Amino acid sequence: MKKLEEKIIKEGSVLSDSVLKVDSFLNHQVDPFLMKEIGEEFSRLFADRGITKIVTLESSGIAPAVMAALTMDVPLVFARKRKSLTLTEGLLTADVYSFTKEETNTITISEKYIKKTDNVLIIDDFLANGQAAEGLINIVSQTGASIAGIGIVIEKAFQDGGKLLREKGFKVESLARLQSLSGGKVEFAEEALT
């Protein structure tokens, strides 16, 4: 997605060979106009998949996922990373390790929001090693629902997550694929994978 790539070049900040900071438009301050276009692009990419629900992980996945849900006219469910006093029964859980934050979170979704009959699209902000996506796949699989695909805003193609998910047979659509962050410079993968 050209507009997203331009935004990454203009406003992204390379912190290391494996970390890209995009907090000016995606995961701290949110550019709602870009998120709307991202939602529309996910809707286009998964138009033939019969999506009935979108699942994401709080908090950075919520903005692009809510716009996709709005465009697709389906509900959005987000997995919580922290315990809630009001979310205590019938929980689906999975452990997810964050390499960026160097911590493991037990993510949770109430089982009443994903049914066996659902066809779920998983959306997340970043795909690196695939831990967040695997955690969400685990939770959705516990319900017996189908996974229609995985939509990623930014994929670090130089890490194994995307490759592993695609090898497992998942349709993974990434709107921007980073080939390298070496030397403080963003390089995009030449071709997008589907």
Q: 129 labelled as ligand-binding?
A: yes
Query: What is the pLDDT at residue 14?
Result: 97
Class of domain 2-188: alpha beta
Q: 94 labelled as ligand-binding?
A: no
Q: 130 labelled as ligand-binding?
A: yes
CA separation, residue 21 to residues 12, 17, 35, 78, 108 (Å):
6, 12, 17, 22, 26
pTM over 0.85: yes
Query: What is the pLDDT at residue 82?
Result: 74
Q: Among candidates 161, 152, 155, which has minimal Cα distance to 180?
A: 155
Q: 179 labelled as ligand-binding?
A: no
Please name the residues in contact with 85: beta carbons below 8 A apart, sequence gap of 6 or more: none
Q: 128 labelled as ligand-binding?
A: yes
Query: What is the pLDDT at residue 170?
Result: 98
Q: 20 labelled as ligand-binding?
A: yes
Average pLDDT per 10 consecutive residues for the chain, totaling 194 residues: 97 96 95 98 98 95 98 97 71 87 89 97 96 97 98 97 97 98 94 52
